[in-house]
Structure 1
Amino acid sequence: MATRDKTYNTQHSERRSLRVSEIPVPSLKQITPWLDVFPTEGVKLSCGMDGSSDWTYTWFRDGQLVKKDEVLSFGSDAATLSISSASASQRGQYSCSAQLKSRSVSSNSSSETTLEVYDTKPRVTLMQNPKHNVMHTGDAVTFSCHVNVSSGWEYLWHKDNHPLSEYNHTISSVVTTNTSYQCQVKRGTNTAFRSDRSQAVGLEVKERPKANIILLTGWSEVFSTDSLVLQCEMPKSQDLWNYTWFKEGRQINHLISEKHTVTPQNNTEQSLYTCQGIRSGRPSYSKFSESFTTKNLLLKRRVLLSISGLIFFGIIAVLLGCIVLRVFRKPDDGDDKPEETELFLTMAQLKERDDAPCPMVQYITDAELNSSPKEGEENGTVCSETPLPITSHEDQAVTIESSGTTENNGGLVSFKQ
């Protein structure tokens, strides 16, 4: 039965803990490595609560709410802010705040981050080292690209409008082609920002003069000297040059002269010699000359001396041989033979001899021998001598002509000697 005005107490309920925390402040971070940007360059910022995804975010610039437009956009839950093409109107102090998705709880604003937007693109300057208007083949030249502001740049090179690479472009040995160089910078990955190109720097390259070695020792002097005088010259240059000499590729110490004398004492191995021109102006040095081989020259000299000696001694040998043959030559077999006896006597010899027969007797035929003496008497003398003139006194040639007519055959006999 219940009784009025009597107090009843219930048991205690389950214990509940209430934890009251300060509302966290979001953290604003820059995703883009730099916060000084140039027109048309992109920027990206992030806002977030550490370890929680239950928040949405609101962005502010200079205390004013930032709204989405053509170049400004937000990511999921507005956790990121992206500017695709920065302009001067977007510079300022950026901050963000967070709101819980489940209930109406808002955080305080984050710390501010300053975004600097330049009015113009960066100025790129191309520098050349050494600064010579005219280069020569073989010279080394270095081009450097400099930007007046900011950091994080990647350098792009252009040679006659063709892309190259590297931060410093070094040419270790230029060639004889006139070219122009430019550089520009870029940064960023997805939407990389590129500066305008630098001024073009032209590189004029001329052919480096080449030294030449000539031999001053003439061929007429090779018989009277055992040394060779070499001279180094610059045939296509009007400038004043000094010269250095090299033997087998090594510089000859303390020798700066246009002439060099090669002797058997300093050239026992018959080496290769080269020379190079040097001067204080530009170009400061020349190309090396072609190698001059003293071995070949001395060989030619020796060959010339050998040929000359052979010719000289050959002439002497021929003269001595002629003298020896003249003195000791054996007589020919024909020289010992006595003169042949004349088979026939001349008319003069016949006249001097009393017992000489009449020449006509040898030519009398048998018919004439058998003829009667009477015919001989009738026809006159059978043998008659008719003197003939001598045509040559030296060889005593005599021509005898005798004519006679006989009744037997009417023969005409003539003699010639």
Structure 2
Amino acid sequence: MRCDIQGGGDTDWDYRWYKNSQLFSPFNTKPEYRISPVYRSNSDSYTCEGVKGNKFSKTSEAVKLTVSDQPQPVLSISPQWLNPGDLVTLSCGVKELSTDWRFSWYRTVPYRAGLPSLSDKSYSLQPLSDNVTSEDSYTLIPAGATPTGGYVCRAGRGDPVYDTLYSQPPFLWSGDLQPSVSLTVNPNRTQHFRWTSLSLSCELKGNSTGWRLKRYTETAWQSQCPSTWRSITESTCTITSLNTWSSGVFWCESGSGEYSNAVNITVNDGYVILESPVHPVTEGDSVTLTCTFRYQEKNPKLKTDFYKDGLLIKNETTGEMTIPTVSKSDEGFYKCKSGQGESPESWVTVRGEKTFMITSLLPFYYLCKNM
């Protein structure tokens, strides 16, 4: 801030600075007052006046200084569930209006000293090859291993550069199995009843070691097997009594930064679930969707309606619907309904490389609602 005294000359003046009419800097020989770095507590109205011996200038008009929090950009990923061969777009949004932001892009890796890291040091950040761009979007072109993992952006402007905080790291997942490890689920389905048990484990192949089970939920973007669950090993979690907050996306992650396939798990507090395969099914196979009731032994074969994208497509007396040959036209949201109630929806995806996958709606909604 600079205090200019009109018609008073530039020499022999001392300067007084006031914050909200309270004197805080009574003796300054220079007409400038610098605050570096600024904090929110510096926000207020500032005035100044000049002093030369017993002579005082008029007090300046007030200047309002507003210091806001360091902005945090929001990163969105599309698509967030990856089909083989898909291009992936990362978009970095900053609330503060400006046209001169430049954007930096990162992928999460296990914590390593010397790399930039998230505040809780749960992950370090590995810059992508074309790290700084003037555009607020970045296109990933997957080649070789799937780019499953977390992604982060940060914006900066000015010289010297003023940087925002790092974004929270949304994850990009693939349901396809990788050769070194896969996530297995027992019982082998994506929807489960509340109060039942569930086991998730990292199935290792070859000499792979050091895998840990991870979880993404609506309220926590990543966590390990919770201490309230019974953990057999770091790579296996057994949940003895499921609750609705157990829903989430699960995957396996190694200390070297490799990732397994991911699985959406939905826990339903109702009486009906739709059973569907956890892992991809090859296009052309016969696939059976089963409507399961909480008290199945009392109603082994109920008349069941099956819906696709909200439209009734089939009535069955056995509680099962079979798709003889899965094709692209079978993509959509599926659910079942009977006198016992209605299941959550499951999304049926027919993979571009002739694979088929069903994922549950609820965690998918959690992942996409803030994009």
Same fold by TM-score, threshold 0.5 exceeded? no
Structure-2-length-normalised TM-score: 0.31
Higher relative contact order, chain-length normalized (CA < 8 Å, sep 6+): 2
- TM normalised by structure 1 equals 0.28
**Greater fraction of residues in strand:** 2
If you compute each CA radius of gyration, which structure gives the higher value, 1 or 2?
Answer: 1
